[in-house]
Amino acid sequence: MTNKTIQYECSAFVIDTWVEAVAQNRTNLAPQNIPWDMIRYLVTETYGGKIDDEGDFGLLAKLVASFLTPAAFDIEHKLVDGGDAGGVLAVPSGTTTPDFMAWVHRLPEREPPTYLGLPANAEKLLLVGLGRSLIGNVKKVTDLLDEGEQLMTEE
C-alpha cells in the first residue's frame, strides 16, 4: 500500500469514528448533526496537502464546502451552479443504486469548467494560450531553419 492509500484510509476511519460518536448506535443520523466542520477540514487538508498555490487551495476549500454540507442531502441541491453559462450539477433525486447510476450516466462526457469552480470560458482561454505558444515555437524553429540555410549558402 502507498502512503496516500494509508492516509486516505486513516481519514475515512477518523470520519467513521466521528460519525459513530455522534450517532450513538443509531442507524439514522440527521444531516445537520454530522460534524461537517471537522470533516471539511480533514478532507481539505488531506487532498490539499500538496497544493502550493493559495488560490487553488481556496478553490478546493470552496468545492469541499459546497459538497459536504447538510444541504447536500436535499433533492436537487446544486453542488455546482454555473449560472447561465451552464454547468449546473445537482444532487440526484433517487436514493437507490440504480437511481444513482442513472444520474452518473446522464453526466456530460466532458465536464464543464464550472464543475471545478472555474469560469465557463476557462477551456477556451487555455486553448488560446496553448495555440499562441505553439505558433511562437513554430516561429522559433522556422527562424532557426532560416538561419541554418543562410549559413549553408554563405559557406
pLDDT of residue 37: 93
Q: What is the pLDDT of residues 78-124, one digit of tens each?
A: 877 766 656 678 888 878 899 889 988 988 887 777 777 777 777 88
As a whole number, mean pLDDT of residues 45-56 equals 87
CA-nearest of 11, 33, 8, 10 to 21 is: 33
* Residue 54 identity: E
Task: Give percent of the chain above pLDDT 70.
Answer: 90
pTM: 0.60
pLDDT band, very low/low/confident/very high, at 145 (cuts 50, 70, 90): confident
For 11, 42, 68, 116, 128, the CA distances from 64, given in Å and listed in that order, are: 15, 10, 6, 11, 30
CA-nearest of 88, 91, 92, 130 to 112 is: 88
pLDDT of residue 92: 83
- Contacts of residue 48, defined as CB under 8 A and 6 or more positions apart, other chains included, come to 57, 60, 61
Task: Give percent of the chain above pLDDT 90.
Answer: 17
Q: What is the pLDDT of residues 69-87, one digit of tens each?
A: 998 888 878 877 766 656 6
